[in-house]
Amino acid sequence: MKNKTTATGTEATGLHEIRAGQSIELLKELHILTRDGKLNQDSRRKLKQVYHLYQFIEKLLMELQESQAVATNGRGITLADHGAGKSYLGFIVYDLFFKSRPTGHIYGIETRPELVAKSKELAARLGFERMSFLNLTVADAANSDQIGPRIDIVTALHACDTATDDAIAFGLAKHAKFMVLVPCCQAEVARALNHSKALSLSRTPLAELWRHPLHTRELGSQITNVLRCLYLEACGYQVTVTELVGWEHSMKNELIIARQTGHRKRAATERLRAILAEFGLTSLLETRFRLPTDVTV
C-alpha cells in the first residue's frame, strides 16, 4: 500500500517524466519544477520540448564521443547554443551528458546581458565549470576570440528570423560536424516576396500563392527552410527534416539536423539558384546563401 501511495505521488508531481540522473535543483532553478518539486502544465510542455530535442542531440554526442578525432584531441566535444535565452537546453545537455565526463565545453550565446549574467551565476552555483555564456550576437560569435576555431555541434532552438541563418554561417565557419536547428518567425523572405508582389502577379500565376498577407508569411517561412536545407547540402551537409514535438505543443515545430559529409552537392546548388530566381530572391545569394566557389554554376 505504501509503494502504491508513493507511485501515485510521483504521478501527481510529474516526477516520472524527469530523466534519470537529472538534477532536481537545476529544474527548480530553471522554473521547470516548482519550489515544492512539481510540474505544472506549462513547464511540462517546455520540458517535453527540451527532452525531445535532447534525444536527437544525445545521439550525435554519443557518435562524436566514439569518434577517434574527438577522442584524441584532448578538448572533448564542444557545443555552441545560439539564441540561448535562459539556456534551458544548454543546462540540460550539460547536466545529462557533459557533467559525467571529464572534458567538453558548452557555449551559450545570447544578446540579452541580464540572461547571460543569470546563466553565469547559475552555472557557478551548480558547479558546471565547463559552460561559458557570451553576450554576443550570433553573427559576432563567429569572430569572437572567446570561442575556439572549431565547434562540434551548433544548436539554435527557436532563433528568430535571420538568427538561424547566422547560426548556419557560424557552423560553417567553425566546421561544425552537426547543426541542430529549430527555426522561428522567419520574416526576411516574406518581406522580399511582399516587396515584389505586384511584379510577380503580372509575371506568373504562382504568385497567387503569396497574394494574401497570411499566405505570404506562411509561404515565406516554408521557402526559407527549403532554401536553408539546399544551402546546407550545397555546403557539404546531409540534411534531415522532421517534427520537434506534436503541433499541440508548439507551432514552431520544424527540426533541421545537418550532418557534415564534405560532399558538396552540385544539384542542391542548381536548385537553390533556380528557386531564388523563380521567386525573385536572387539578392539573397549575396547575403544569406553565399555558395562555395567550387560548386557554383
Residue 188 and residue 192: Cα distance in Å, rounded? 6
Residue 42 belongs to domain with CATH number: 3.40.50.150
In a domain, 164, yes or no: yes
Residue 10: the pLDDT is: 46
Decide: helix, strand or coil at residue 183.
strand
Ranges 54-58, 72-76, 79-83, 131-135: which has the least confidence? 72-76
Nearest-angstrom CA–CA distance, 297 and 293: 9
Domain annotation covers residue 143: yes
Domain for residue 152, yes or no? yes
Q: Which of 44-48, 80-84, 253-257 has the lowest mean pLDDT?
A: 44-48
In a domain, 14, yes or no: no
The percent of residues in the chain predicted with pLDDT above 90, rounded, is 55
Number of domains in the chain: 1
Kindly report the CA angle at 79 between 121 and 154, in degrees rounded to 5? 120
For residue 178, pLDDT over 80 is answered with yes
Segment 73-81 shows an average pLDDT of 87
| Tens-place pLDDT, residues 179-193 | 999 998 888 898 888
Q: pTM for this one?
A: 0.87
Q: Report, as an integer, the average pLDDT of 66-85.
A: 79
User: Which domain covers residue 24, as residue numbers?
Assistant: 19-185
* Per-residue model confidence as pLDDT tens digits over 38-50: 887 878 887 887 8
| Closest-CA residue to 292 (of 258, 257, 268) | 268
Q: Which residue has the higher pLDDT, 257 or 291?
A: 257
Q: What is the pLDDT of residue 145?
A: 92
For 143-167, write each residue's pLDDT tens digit. Answer: 999 998 999 999 998 877 788 999 9
Query: In this predicted structure, what is the pLDDT of residue 163?
Result: 87
